[in-house]
A and B are shown apart, each in its own frame.
Chain A
Amino acid sequence: GDSVTQKQGQVTLSEDDFLFINCTYSTTTYPTLLWYVQYLGQGPQLLLKVTTANNKGISRGFEATYDKGTTSFHLQKASVQESDSAVYFCALVANNYAQGLTFGLGTRVSVFP
């Protein structure tokens, strides 16, 4: 079945640092890959969507890219702010679309001034 691996459990940064989070995936079809952000006490919010058609997504200063050769997708931001402190999840759209998403375990990003 589909799977997603997100190994970075926690990342600690200072403001203006570069953020990079990596996920690898396994699926039998052309994937649609999503990045969600979850702020403290809230539900996950969609941040970015990447498909094999566009290979890249950009939103709120974040950029998501997809590498079919290494079956990986990345989230990056050039200069983080304290307000970017949150948990970031990668997710894979299931082969059976209506079955929901397969989530990575999440990366807790803490940004200090």
Chain B
Amino acid sequence: EAAVTQSPRNKVAVTGGKVTLSCNQTNNHNNMYWYRQDTGHGLRLIHYSYGAGSTEKGDIPDGYKASRPSQENFSLILELATPSQTSVYFCASGEAGTGKDEQYFGPGTRLTVL
């Protein structure tokens, strides 16, 4: 019944490698988001999307790309992974602007870049 799912849940990558994190939502929400969570920084917005085909830069987009091929799916892509991108990544969906401003988060992906 989980409405936002993420895969993989854990990932170990090598520096310079390509990493793709996937997110799927069954809430039928237009908006989707990628955050990273680091101690001392809280949750920071990387990219977001208004709907299929759209991606927008968040507060810390450098080193990341995003793809929204459908209403349900939103991917985060690290073309050349670096150790500084070691973090826990959360995907979320929401209906922002409709009065229902809350977002619903997935369980997270723990990424380690060696």
A residues at B contact (CB < 8 Å): 32, 34, 41-46, 49, 89, 93, 97-101, 103-106
Contacts and interface: CB of A to CB of B under 8 A. Distances in A.
A11 B43 CA distance: 19
B108 A97 contact: no
Interface of B: 4, 31, 33, 35, 40-45, 48, 50, 56, 58, 90, 92, 94, 96-97, 101-108
Given A43-B107, A46-B102, 4 more contacts: A32-B101, A42-B108, A93-B101, A103-B43
A97 B56 CA distance: 13
B73 to A, nearest CB: 17
Contacts of B102: 34, 46, 49
Contacts of A105: 40-42
Given A100-B45, A101-B103, A44 B96 contact: no
B42 A97 contact: no
B89 to A, nearest CB: 10
Given A43-B108, A46-B104, A97-B97, A89 B45 contact: no
Contacts of B33: 100
Contacts of B4: 43
B97 A98 contact: yes
A98 to B, nearest CB: 5
Contacts of A100: 33, 35, 45, 48, 58, 92, 94, 96, 103
B90 A43 contact: yes
B59 to A, nearest CB: 9
A44 B102 CA distance: 11
Given A42-B107, A43-B108, A97 B101 contact: yes
10 contacts: A42-B108, A44-B43, A46-B104, A49-B102, A89-B42, A98-B50, A99-B45, A100-B45, A103-B42, A105-B42
